[in-house]
Each structure stands twice: as structure tokens, then as C-alpha cells.
Chain A
């Protein structure tokens, strides 16, 4: 299945993105003049080896860092110009985030973890519960809603994390090595789940990975090496 980015208005637009770190007197360029865009409903892999700059790129796109140069637009809004509070509001409503280590709050149940972003949105308790249970059902965790993270397997915890990222119905979901802590069988299940959710909800996914097996399941792969996009710009999977 292929989608051509030029045919639809881009949801995410990265332009002339350069990011440098200062380490004492030394300046390291982590990303250099990166340009790409992601269309709505697209599922893109950001593939690169360790130190290629892919995690930095993800953090910049999620508004967790400010770029040295260039701009990142999500739904036309330049996130590098937003204040911390504006970013918090933007993330709350438009961005979902899936962590490599799941990052669930240990003393909250699976349902309560999924409800958390809705809590920040001031969604009433009953509606929160309904939406969280519905999302947990989508990720195949019916009957596990009241279990604590410590009682769930790694794959199940990642499913909770995915449900949490999607429960606010975000425009875009950033996944940072979502299968990095899972065995190969669970990895395949999680990838299948993400692909299925992309189709079900038309949610845009940007998945950072260093594994080619994960990347090939995405609609498009962006390769990063030494802070630059290689192979022209993109490669269709």
C-alpha cells in the first residue's frame, strides 16, 4: 500500500532543520538541514542506527526540544515558536507519544493510565472511563483494565501505552522504539496493532526504530545517517 505525500496536504512539515549540541567549547551537529513532510494518516518510519540523530529528531518534532535552526509545523503550527504552556496544550490535544519503556505510572491501573491524558484535558470521569475502556478494547486488553502495570506482560504494557497515546484522538503519534524492549513475537504483534490502528483511526504515526524489520511494515521509511536524511530523501517501503 502506498500513499504519495504530494497528493495530500502535509500534517507534519520539517524544513531546514538543524540541531547542534554544545559540549563545553565543542559544538556537535546532530541534525543537519533535514527536510521532509508527513501526510495525514500516513505511517512513517524514521530508521537509523544509534547516534544517527533519529531520537533527537523525534524529540524536536514532539516539542520536547527547540531546534537550533529550521522549523517544524504540525497542522500548520510552528511548534518551535510555542511557549512551554502552549506546547503543553498542543501536546495534550494533538500529539500522542509511545515510549520504548512503556512509561506507565505504576500505582495506576491500566485504565487509569489510559485515562491520564484525558485527566489533563478535564474530561469528566465517566466519559474518561468509557473512552479508556473502549481504547483498551481496541488494543486487545478487554478484561485487563483494572490490572496494574506490574501484573501485565511487556507486550500488554506497551498496548496500554499505545491506548494511552491514542485515547485523546491525536493528529499524530510519535513512537520511540516501540518494540525495543519486546521479544520478536511480541514485536510483530505490536507492529500489527499499530498498523491496524492506523487504518482504523486514520491516525498519523511516526515510528522511530533502528530495526529494519519494523520499518518495512511502515508506508514510508526515512533513513537517517549522521544527522542527515539519506537515499535522496525518502524511500517507499
Chain B
């Protein structure tokens, strides 16, 4: 018999026994959908969590700090600073998307519009590389001009206003409101105490040329503590010089070598290799990959649980097929007998039943895929409705569809094996005898 004939005869049988076919297909469909949904759950959660981790732990970033170099005779360990030369070497390494100095400076107060007061954590870096590090601008962008600053969204929150009544907000701070700071001049303010008992206030003006976009999915009340603001290395030097000239003995100058350099990898997968290569430059490197390893372990457990549940449902579904197909062999004993008398071999009868149950698997698999999409769509709709998210959390990857289909067909074929062998062993004479 040709495959086409097997399929046609099998399909005829499935069409004839609509109720049994529908029940078996429903069983496989539910099992297949469970597996696809389970794997999608695992994958979606993994994807979402990885996004979140990347956002908070910057998984694709490396922090490079001065290391130690052993002298050629091995006698002493000398500090090996991150120099401009080494930074250039790091930038040329394959898999490096960007590398910039990252020098946290002081936590300072600023005033704006004469009445508002806020805080910034100044970070000296190369603002033109901020976008390469994944920052998006809500307003404006980097500028070549000196005395400019790019602030994170959190800086615009929680400004203190002395005109407000004492019971307004938390300590006269209009925390929930983002104050418009773009293109305004803010004044870094510092109380100078030269050490002779006197004190004075010094202010340094900076123009806000950019406001960073707020990270996705993070509420404002958490962002109000995020006060990072980015200035160029030259501006940082000017600020230090200014406050030192104003009499601040604590105003630090910028070191000629960098205490900290951030390296953005093109992909998270590049991080271990870069860690190794930068380590060979006798520099100290830190990554957050251990977080990912811990997370992957947790996710593998989640996937195992969901996948196991799906497999269990498929197992139950396969029992229904075995029962249905075994019943079918009894119902069709006479027909099998006639076919044997007409010359059908053992293998042909066996294959007819296996192909029939495989078709049942294909049918169940296709319905299962549709069902899985409905379930995922439904869950996303509920999440969007109650969580207010823009997009659904769950998704079905294309590569899961053949996996689900393979499980469905395999379930069909394996469930059909016993009935098929039983059918092929039907004694033709007994089968065609009439009572």
C-alpha cells in the first residue's frame, strides 16, 4: 500500500467515527496545548525575567577596575590602573559595543527656578555613549558643549519646594509630579566650609540638555530614588576645579586613570569571553553573570514543572486513544477480516491503524496549537486588563510549534501501536464468520 492510500483510508475512518475522533483529538489537543503553554510559560517568564535582570543587573555589562600586575621578577604586586590606552584596547576587543569611564562623583543638591530643590548623583562619563549603553532619551540628547548635564527621569521627581505647606507631600516634596527640567539651568549648590569656622554657599550652573526615558514597568515611586545625572569628563573636571577654587578642600579632582570603566557587550553571550580577555590585561573585572546562572537554575525547575504537567496530560490523552483505537479494532474486526481475505498483509493492517492514529495525532496537534494560542491570548488579555501593561507577558515561540506537533503525533503513533498490532493479528476467518 502506498502512503497516500494509508492516509486516505485512515482519514475515511476518522471521518466516519466523528464522535470518537473528536474525543480523541480533544484529548491530544488539550495535552499538546498544555505542553506548548507550559513551555511558553517557562520561556516567556525566562524572557521577561531576563529583561528585568538585564535592566537591573545589566547582565551584558562588565565593570572594569584597576587590577594588580606582578613585576617580571615576581617580587612585587603593583596596581595596574585603567588608563586611556587600556580603555582604547578594550574598545577594540571583538564583542565590545561600547566602553566608557564611569566615575561616580559627589551626591549634590541643586536648585532650579529659584524655588525648587533636588538632588543628583553626578557621574562623569562620556555622554555621547549613553545610547550605546541602552539608555533612551525622553527629551533632548547628548551635547558637545561644556557645562551640560543629562539627568535620569528620577531627578525630575520628588523636588523640594519651600513654599509648600509643611504637610504637603513627604517633607514638602511634590514626589508624584515630574518637574519639567529640560533646557533649564540647574545650579549645583554646595556649602563650603574652608575649615576656619566660616562657611559660604557656592553654586555651579549646568544646562539640562537631556532627560533619560523612564525604564519600562518601573513605577515612579521607585524611580524617585534614582538620581543619576551624567556629565562629561571635562565638565566634571571644571566642577571640581570650581569648588576647589571656592575653598572646598574635599572637592576631588578627576584621576588621570579611571577608577571604574563600564563595558557594554554586544551580547550577553560575549560577556564571559570579554571577562577573560580583559582579565588578561591585568585588570579587575566584575560581571553579574552569577545572577544569570542562579536564575537559569530556577527557571529550569519552572520549565520542568510546567513541561511535566503537559506530559502528564498527554499521557492521559494517549490512554483515551488506546481505548478508542482498541474499541475500533473490535468494531472493525469484520472489515479487517475481509481485507485480509482480499490480500492485506499483517504489516498493511498494522500500518493502516498506525497511520490512522498518527492522523489523529496531527489533527489533535493542530487543534492543540490553536488552543494554545487562545489560552495565551486569554491570559495576556487578563494580565493587560488588570495590570495595565501595554503588551502581554506571554508569547509562543515558533520553535515550540513543531515541538508540540511532534509530541502530538508521537502520542498518536505510540497509542496506536498496541491496537494496530492487535488488529493485524485478527484471525480473518473468525472475523468474517457470521453468527
Closest-CB distance, A19 to chain B (whole angstroms)? 13
Nearest-CB residue, chain B, relative to A95: B343
Considering only CB atoms and an 8 Å cut-off, how many residues of chain B contact the other chain?
24
Q: Which residues of B contact A103 (CB under 8 A)?
A: 334, 338, 432
Q: Which residues of B contact A121 (CB under 8 A)?
A: 343
B339 pairs with A97, CB closer than 8 A: no
Contacts of B148-175 to chain A: CB distance below 8 A: none
B16 pairs with A107, CB closer than 8 A: yes
Q: Which residues of A contact B1 (CB under 8 A)?
A: 119-120, 122
CB of A108 within 8 Å of the partner chain: yes
Contact with A along B333-374 (1 / 0, CB 8 A): 011001111111111100000000000000000000000000
Closest-CB distance, A111 to chain B (whole angstroms)? 13
Q: Which residues of B contact A116 (CB under 8 A)?
A: 339, 342
CB of B2 within 8 Å of the partner chain: yes
Closest-CB distance, A181 to chain B (whole angstroms)? 11
CB of B222 within 8 Å of the partner chain: no
A91 pairs with B341, CB closer than 8 A: yes
CB of A105 within 8 Å of the partner chain: yes
Nearest-CB residue, chain A, relative to B349: A88
- The distance in angstroms between the C-alpha atoms of A119 and B345, with both chains bound, is 12
**Of the residues B2, B16, B343, B429, contact of A92 by C-beta under 8 Å:** B343
Q: Which residues of B contact A93 (CB under 8 A)?
A: 343
B342 pairs with A91, CB closer than 8 A: yes
CB of A164 within 8 Å of the partner chain: yes
Q: Which residues of A contact B12 (CB under 8 A)?
A: 107-108
Nearest-CB residue, chain A, relative to B6: A119
- The distance in angstroms between the C-alpha atoms of A70 and B203, with both chains bound, is 122
- The distance in angstroms between the C-alpha atoms of A165 and B159, with both chains bound, is 97
A64 pairs with B2, CB closer than 8 A: no
Contact with B along A86-124 (1 / 0, CB 8 A): 001101110101010101010110000000110111100
**Of the residues B334, B342, B346, contact of A117 by C-beta under 8 Å:** B342
- The distance in angstroms between the C-alpha atoms of A116 and B432, with both chains bound, is 17
Q: Which residues of A contact B196 (CB under 8 A)?
A: none
A59 pairs with B429, CB closer than 8 A: yes
- The distance in angstroms between the C-alpha atoms of A95 and B342, with both chains bound, is 8
CB of A27 within 8 Å of the partner chain: no
CB of A236 within 8 Å of the partner chain: no
- The distance in angstroms between the C-alpha atoms of A108 and B15, with both chains bound, is 12
Most chain B C-beta atoms within 10 Å of own C-beta, residue among A92, A101, A103: A103
**Of the residues B4, B338, B340, B429, contact of A105 by C-beta under 8 Å:** B338
Instruction: Count CB-based A-B contacts (< 8 Å).
Output: 62
Nearest-CB residue, chain A, relative to B344: A120
Contact with A along B423-434 (1 / 0, CB 8 A): 000001100101
CB of A78 within 8 Å of the partner chain: no
Q: Which residues of B contact A89 (CB under 8 A)?
A: 343, 345
Contacts of B240-296 to chain A: CB distance below 8 A: none
B434 pairs with A117, CB closer than 8 A: no
Closest-CB distance, B191 to chain A (whole angstroms)? 96
CB of A28 within 8 Å of the partner chain: no
**Of the residues A65, A91, A99, A107, contact of B343 by C-beta under 8 Å:** A91
- The distance in angstroms between the C-alpha atoms of A99 and B335, with both chains bound, is 13
- The distance in angstroms between the C-alpha atoms of A189 and B348, with both chains bound, is 35
Closest-CB distance, A170 to chain B (whole angstroms)? 9
- The distance in angstroms between the C-alpha atoms of A120 and B346, with both chains bound, is 11
Closest-CB distance, B422 to chain A (whole angstroms)? 15
Closest-CB distance, A82 to chain B (whole angstroms)? 12
Q: Which residues of B contact A92 (CB under 8 A)?
A: 342-345
Nearest-CB residue, chain B, relative to A92: B343
**Of the residues B5, B334, B340, contact of A88 by C-beta under 8 Å:** B340
CB of A62 within 8 Å of the partner chain: yes
10 intermolecular pairs with C-beta atoms under 8 Å apart: A59-B429, A85-B347, A91-B341, A91-B342, A91-B343, A103-B334, A119-B2, A119-B5, A120-B1, A120-B344
- Known: A92-B342, A125-B4; 19 extra A-B contacts, CB below 8 A, are A64-B341, A64-B428, A85-B345, A85-B346, A88-B345, A88-B348, A91-B342, A97-B341, A97-B342, A99-B338, A103-B338, A108-B12, A116-B339, A116-B342, A119-B2, A120-B343, A121-B343, A164-B342, A168-B343
Interface set of B (CB-CB < 8 Å, partner A): 1-2, 4-5, 9, 12, 16, 334-335, 338-348, 428-429, 432, 434
Q: Which 7 A-B pairs have the closest CB atoms?
A: A92-B343, A88-B345, A64-B429, A91-B343, A120-B343, A103-B338, A117-B342
